[in-house]
């Protein structure tokens, strides 16, 4: 089994030196517990609220629980006992200068964030953890945030077959490390456990079969504009139910919504977002793509590639404790850009292409952004080529394997 060093470990340790509590949040089985235990090096107590008797004590008598599991401590799956949070706050406030007392993990982001923001505001550092990134798997140095201008034109980053094998497998640590060999069995179990546990906790869904249909229908729309009314109609549910269930997928870190760019921040929130699954292996499994070859040659090859790239860019930011300002662009006449990265008043435009031979015509919308008065940064066409090469001035053909 391959040992994989997680880039976020440094972020956990750094945050623990500055905050009284650290919360690592992410989907089930992305390695939150392993990360915290590795960072602790056996020097902290550990308790998981997955165990029902321990969970019951935490809910029924938080003070007694925190006497038994006093800091420094790791509390796993904190979302199961939000009753602990006010008591954790009280302990922290006894000595607010004492850092790193509580390390917490949780896999239900929105529900958990609400409780954390109410109880531990200003006292907790929140770290998002995704699946294994390409950089972690290939044992590269942590590249940090995405910068298309920072690329070697000499290095080789794998061909299209390598890329689709990675997309098809997914990024869960159990599969990437080789600890679990049977991909089909892993994802079957993952979906069943997810619906039986997280879905019940977050939405009290009574019709599990209907929710599974909704999950599959959402997977079929990865990389596309999110049309909730169409999704509701296809699954046979009401629009409010579709909205609630999409919130469940977001809350449990199954999907991520990319907002359109606008100078008006309020407009970004209300306009239609694009939908992306955070693990391409899970998405492929839900859609029945049984091999990397059929996926690579199938109708969704482009959408899955774009989903993979967006996920890898997200991980880059999360692994260094940053919240990325990522958007897409689309205007009324059809000009569109897959991804915009906003930084320092600059927009870096990115196109994702399935073709291994991108052309300057693929980036004609880049200049549209500039003509609208935005400051244009360094651009990229990300595609499954082995080596980077310049496309035009200020734009590079960037290998998917280097993202």
pLDDT (0 to 100) of residue 119: 75
Among the candidates 82, 107, 129, a domain finishes at: 129
Indicate if 106 and 188 belong to the same structural domain. Answer: no
- What is the CATH classification number for the domain harbouring 96? 3.40.50.300
Domain extent, residue 326, equals 135-402
Calculate the average pLDDT of the chain. Answer: 92
Task: Look at residue 112 and tell me whether its pLDDT is greater than 70.
Answer: no
pLDDT (0 to 100) of residue 211: 93
Among the candidates 78, 111, 129, a domain finishes at: 129
Number of domains in the chain: 2
Task: Look at residue 251 and tell me whether its pLDDT is greater than 70.
Answer: yes
Return the number of other C-beta atoms located less than 10 Å from residue 302's C-beta. Answer: 14
Indicate if 188 and 114 belong to the same structural domain. Answer: no
pLDDT (0 to 100) of residue 116: 66
Indicate if 78 and 143 belong to the same structural domain. Answer: no
Indicate if 29 and 139 belong to the same structural domain. Answer: no
Task: Look at residue 162 and tell me whether its pLDDT is greater than 60.
Answer: yes
The answer to whether residue 184 sits within a structural domain is yes
Q: Which region among 112-116, 295-299, 340-344, 390-394 has the lowest average model confidence (pLDDT)?
A: 112-116
HSE on the CB side for 31, CA within 13 Å? 25
Tell me whether strands 102-106 and 21-25 are parallel, antiparallel or unpaired. Answer: parallel
Distances (CA, A) of 323 to 77, 130, 175, 177, 315: 22, 13, 27, 27, 10
Distances (CA, A) of 75 to 41, 232, 290: 15, 38, 38
Q: Tokens at residue 315, please?
A: 């991980």
End-to-end CA distance of the chain: 25
pLDDT (0 to 100) of residue 217: 98
pLDDT (0 to 100) of residue 342: 93
Contacts of 185 (CB under 8 A, 6+ apart): none
Q: Tokens at residue 17, please?
A: 């030196």
Task: Look at residue 148 and tell me whether its pLDDT is greater than 60.
Answer: yes
Distance separating alpha carbons of residues 203 and 1, to the nearest angstrom: 37
Tell me whether strands 346-352 and 379-383 are parallel, antiparallel or unpaired. Answer: parallel
pLDDT (0 to 100) of residue 115: 64
pLDDT (0 to 100) of residue 368: 81
HSE on the CB side for 158, CA within 13 Å? 14
Distance separating alpha carbons of residues 255 and 246, to the nearest angstrom: 8
Identify whether the C-beta of residue 320 lies closer than 8 Å to the C-beta of residue 11: yes
Tell me whether strands 395-399 and 379-383 are parallel, antiparallel or unpaired. Answer: parallel
Indicate if 105 and 221 belong to the same structural domain. Answer: no
Indicate if 185 and 331 belong to the same structural domain. Answer: yes
Q: Is 205 left (phi over 0), alpha (psi -120 to 50) or beta?
A: beta
Confidence band (pLDDT; 50, 70, 90) for 271? confident
pLDDT (0 to 100) of residue 266: 55
Indicate if 83 and 141 belong to the same structural domain. Answer: no
pTM of the model: 0.93
Distance separating alpha carbons of residues 164 and 401, to the nearest angstrom: 10
Confidence band (pLDDT; 50, 70, 90) for 114? low
Distance separating alpha carbons of residues 304 and 221, to the nearest angstrom: 10
Percent of the chain with pLDDT over 70: 95
Indicate if 140 and 268 belong to the same structural domain. Answer: yes
Distance separating alpha carbons of residues 57 and 46, to the nearest angstrom: 15
Identify whether the C-beta of residue 312 lies closer than 8 Å to the C-beta of residue 133: yes
Indicate if 164 and 117 belong to the same structural domain. Answer: no
Among the candidates 112, 129, 146, a domain finishes at: 129
Return the number of other C-beta atoms located less than 10 Å from residue 129's C-beta. Answer: 24
Task: Look at residue 111 and tell me whether its pLDDT is greater than 70.
Answer: no
Distance separating alpha carbons of residues 213 and 207, to the nearest angstrom: 10
The answer to whether residue 3 sits within a structural domain is no
Percent of the chain with pLDDT over 90: 76
Task: Look at residue 312 and tell me whether its pLDDT is greater than 80.
Answer: yes
pLDDT (0 to 100) of residue 207: 86
Identify the residue whose tokens are 């070859």: 293
Q: Which region among 79-83, 109-113, 210-214, 362-366 has the lowest average model confidence (pLDDT)?
A: 109-113
pLDDT (0 to 100) of residue 319: 95
Residue among 288, 282, 233 nearest 256 (CA): 282
pLDDT (0 to 100) of residue 277: 98
Residue 129's SS3 state is: coil
Q: pLDDT digit string (tens) for 120-130?
A: 888 999 999 99
Confidence band (pLDDT; 50, 70, 90) for 108? low
Q: pLDDT digit string (tens) for 192-204?
A: 988 877 787 666 7
Q: pLDDT digit string (tens) for 41-62?
A: 999 999 999 999 999 999 999 9
């Amino acid at each position: 089994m391959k040992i994989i060093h997680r880039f976020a470990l440094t972020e956990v340790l750094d945050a623990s030196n500055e905050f009284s509590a650290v919360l690592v949040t992410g989907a089930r089985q992305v390695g939150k517990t392993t990360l915290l235990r590795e960072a602790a090096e056996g020097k902290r107590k550990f308790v998981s609220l997955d165990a029902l008797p321990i969970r019951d004590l935490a809910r029924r008598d938080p003070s007694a629980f925190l006497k038994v599991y006093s800091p420094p401590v790791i509390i796993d799956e904190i979302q199961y006992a939000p009753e602990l949070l006010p008591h954790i706050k009280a302990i922290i406030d006894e000595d607010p200068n004492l850092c790193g007392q509580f390390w917490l993990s949780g896999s239900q982001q929105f529900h958990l964030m609400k409780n954390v923001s109410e109880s531990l505001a200003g006292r907790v550092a929140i770290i998002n953890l995704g699946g294994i990134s390409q950089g972690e798997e290939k044992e590269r140095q942590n590249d940090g945030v995405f910068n298309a201008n920072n690329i070697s034109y000499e290095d080789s980053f794998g061909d299209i077959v390598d890329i689709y094998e990675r997309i098809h497998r997914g990024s869960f640590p159990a599969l990437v490390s080789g600890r679990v060999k049977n991909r089909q069995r892993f994802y079957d179990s993952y979906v069943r456990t997810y619906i039986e546990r997280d879905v019940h906790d977050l939405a009290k869904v009574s019709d599990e079969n209907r929710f599974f249909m909704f999950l599959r229908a959402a997977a079929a729309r990865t990389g596309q504009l999110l049309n909730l009314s169409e999704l509701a109609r296809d699954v046979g549910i009401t629009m409010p139910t579709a909205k609630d269930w999409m919130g469940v997928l977001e809350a449990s870190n199954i999907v991520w919504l990319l907002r359109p760019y606008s100078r008006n921040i309020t407009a970004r929130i209300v306009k239609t977002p694009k939908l992306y699954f955070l693990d391409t292996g899970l998405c492929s499994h839900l859609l029945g793509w049984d091999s990397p070859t059929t996926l690579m040659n199938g109708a969704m090859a482009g959408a899955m590639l774009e989903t993979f790239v967006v996920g890898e860019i997200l991980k880059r930011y999360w692994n260094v404790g940053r919240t990325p300002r990522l958007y897409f662009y689309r205007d009324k006449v059809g000009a569109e850009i897959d991804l915009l990265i906003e930084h320092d008043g600059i927009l870096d435009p990115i196109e994702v292409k399935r073709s291994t031979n991108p052309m300057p015509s693929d980036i004609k919308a880049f200049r549209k952004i500039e003509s609208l008065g935005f400051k244009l940064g360094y651009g990229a066409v990300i595609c499954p080529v082995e080596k980077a090469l310049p496309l035009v001035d200020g734009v590079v053909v960037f290998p998917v394997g280097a993202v």
